[in-house]
Amino acid sequence: MNSSILNNPNSFFIKGGSKGIQVIRGGSLNCIKLYFIKKNHKYKMCLGATYISKVQTSHKSMNIILTPRDYLYCQIILSKIKDIGSANHEVVAYKPSTFDGTGFDASKPTKFIIHGFVQTGNANWLTEMAQEMLDYGDYNVFRVNWEGGSSMNFYGQATSNTRVVGLEIGYLVNWMVNYFSLDPAKVHLIGHSLGSHVAGYAGELITGLGRISGLDPAGPYFTWMPSFVILDETDAIFVDNYHTDARPLYLGGYGTPQAMGNVDFYPNGGSFQPGCGLRNVLACSHSRAIDLYRDTLNQTYPYIAHEYDDYDDFKDGHYKLCGDDNQKCPPIYLGIRASEYTQKDRINVQFHFDTNQEAPYC
């Protein structure tokens, strides 16, 4: 990428494969121009900003003007390593001095944790998960705080803002690749709910991104949309998703049943989680994906799931045709160790398992 573009915070252009995104940072439009070339059809859109076209409405149920980045105020915060100090530091692309004294090491694997709707990058689960990551491995761990765009009263506005946040993350990672020689294959984006799709938008911009983990990817306005609208298996080398609240929205579900990764996990069937009764129903199943992922960071014994066509087959013990010694469809570890899966070239592979109703879930 042209270094003059990387050093200019007001305008930049990123290309990857057949997709490219141009961010207009100044002016009154505050829009994103997105170019796609798929099956000889060209799409040119200012997504959610200045107009609604037939092309747009066929790919998104609604398009809403994006919150300007100055109002959204996306922060990316590097969690400090214990032996360096307890303070956290906000880092800024094109400002290397913001990395000084943080303990950031470009040779280490790098994790980004991204929250969802009506949440904040300082939420207890997110700060605790960041520390658990640091305790588990020798990582750089960033927390993404986009509460200015996710805390809107209108869910539709937050869905549009996911594109802006994805661009911010993509811009920072690409700048780090160029400035620090960060290996994108060692970068892992972990998003909950809308944060899963934020990770997908970022992944489109980062050539060779190593991994994305979607923790109950949001369903409303995303389920069964085209691949360039949702997190999908093309957004990183390896994409693993965890579906814990896949009921329809009218039944109180916030997630999606759609398999959209290399591997997709459906604990307890994926629609409703044990222990989430009437007294603890609001978003309980939706947040269980976070709890399960965190549990894999804290347990001595790994979680294991098995490949089945659906949950009924899993409960009935009807194995797929896996060959001798289960070689064609080996079991898989969940959570942090899912990347050890040996068949990463496969897509939308469904894995099932049951859990306890409270931690430890294994």
Catalytic residue among 115, 192, 243, 286: 286
192 is catalytic: no
d(CA 79, CA 104) in angstroms, rounded, equals: 9
286 is catalytic: yes
183 is catalytic: no
Task: Say if CB 34 and CB 21 are below 8 A apart.
Answer: yes
What type of residue sits at position 154? F
Catalytic residue among 193, 213, 271, 287: 193
Strands (E), 216-291: 238-242, 263-267
Phi/psi for 101 (5° steps) reads 75, 10
Q: Hey, what are 31's tokens?
A: 């829009």
Catalytic residue among 196, 216, 232, 271: 216
Measured on CA atoms in the order 224, 159, 17, 178, is the torsion positive or negative? negative
For residue 269, give the 3-state DSSP assignment.
coil
Q: H helices within the chain, ranges in order?
A: 3-6, 54-59, 69-72, 124-136, 147-150, 155-180, 194-205, 284-298, 311-316
Between the CA of residue 208 and those of 84, 108, 238, 294, what are the distances in Å? 31, 16, 10, 26
Within 8 A by CB and 6+ apart from 109, the residues are 137, 138, 139, 140, 186, 187, 188
Question: Which residues are identified as catalytic?
Answer: 193, 216, 286
